[in-house]
Structure 1
Amino acid sequence: MGSFNTKYMINEYVSDLGITIKNLGIKIQTGAPAIASIYQARAGGTCGGGIAFKPRRLEAIFEDGRKLLYPVGKVGDIQTVAARLMPGILSNIAPGEGDDEAICLNLLGEEWGQVPPSIAVPAQESLYTVVKGSIKKEAVNYEYVSDVSEIGTVRLSFAFQTNWVADIIECQKSGLSDPKTENTICTAGSGISPRKLIMSTGYNNDESFKGKSAGSRDVPVSARGSIVSTAQGIVECSRCIGYKGESVPNIQLYYGGGII
């Protein structure tokens, strides 16, 4: 395990939740390519220690086997940072031939173990009674706007348990845009892990979570601009609310015509 360089920061990190963090300190392996062209030198105080979140980041994989994580300050900067790590992707030249050029890039979404109270305060007051019976599921396809602009708007699939607490089902579906139950010929974006809130709920007779009284369910969110309103809309279903941003493997395939 190599040493880590802590001399850099992101001047302004804009969270998926709309929160701006000034002077976010970053930690990256010493000697990692393109550090100085992506980040700013630390000046004065920095934030980051003790903040219960992980920033969105690009996982860059290099020819020598290194996997390095590069935080990205704004969603709109994803392509810019990608171009610094894999300079051929915007000119249709096969990337990854130099020692300092990544051979592939994976987008890893921002994560919050619990969204800050300034965003949403969970307010479940009474425990729900679990609906008994064998699990039954239904899938819907819905409109989803990717954080990777070259992917754009696609339709993804979301499966939820139908014989469950009605309020929970409605909360799970509340962030979906234009959900449809009919089958489609194909669903685009199968490699995308969509942005989602993670809703933890309390039950009084639940046996499906190994005897625990709480269980987590995903709440996909179609548009980044709807994350906060969706979180606020599920507070009465929730004892706590987490968040995980969009992840996409091999995002270089969406730039510059892909790898030759």
Structure 2
Amino acid sequence: MVEIGRLASPRAVMALTDYLKSQGIETHLEHVAQGTAIFVVDDSHATAAQREFAAFIHNPMDAKYLQASWDVGDNRTKLDYGAPGLQLLSQIITGAGPVTLITLIACVAIYIAMLFMPEAIFSALSFFGATSESHWQFWRLFTPSLLHFSLMHIAFNMLWWWYLGGRIENSLGSGRLLLLLVVAGTLPNMVQFFFDGPNFGGLSGVVYGLIGYSWVMSQWAPQRGLVLRPALMGFMLLSLVLGFSGVMGDNIANNAHLAGLLAGLVQGWLDSRRKS
């Protein structure tokens, strides 16, 4: 058996497994700390089931799930996942794994702390040379990735981190995402420092890394369950070009974005060649 994911809501589990059953995919359920783990009985159906799990996470109200419940399971006239607030929380939790959630919470907590203690937080987490106390503190190679300087900045990065990072973690495991986070959260910082100095921050380099990684995996190893629409890759490449052109302003870490994208492409290529 192969685990395809975990859901916190029993009704969500029912809707998805009813749909998988309608597609001829038999599942097995086990109760775990995060809710219910869904396993595919026949390993040959694992790839298709993983794709359906990802599609369900991002659009659980699709009419096809209600239709499946009418055909093979619960025939309620409306899919009820609970109160709207609980629905959102459930979707956030089930759409991500521990690495995704811990990183998201850390970034938000640091952003809130910066609202009250901007100088202290920046001094503690900024890149080498940004403050007089930063020498020999190796964590500064990575920690600028956790700094965000505006609500729009953190909202954009956290949305893409949750969406792309959650899909990678649910499909390939926490280890792969953690490695990508460390690599794409460190090398782009070094490149950005080399070209523009130490005053920068944000998870954008990692986001571009996730884009590059997901695109390569969807092209070269689609059986792993990662699917990235070409339009999304095109949008991010356009944003990168506009950033370097200066149209989007001067306070954008374009070199970190490019380095993150390249890091994701390379790691995606390496992982796509793995047998497991």
TM range (shorter): under 0.3
Quick check: which one's strand share is greater?
1
Query: Which structure exhibits the higher relative contact order, with contacts defined as CA atoms closer than 8 Å and separated by 6 or more residues?
Result: 1
Give the TM-score normalised by structure 1: 0.27
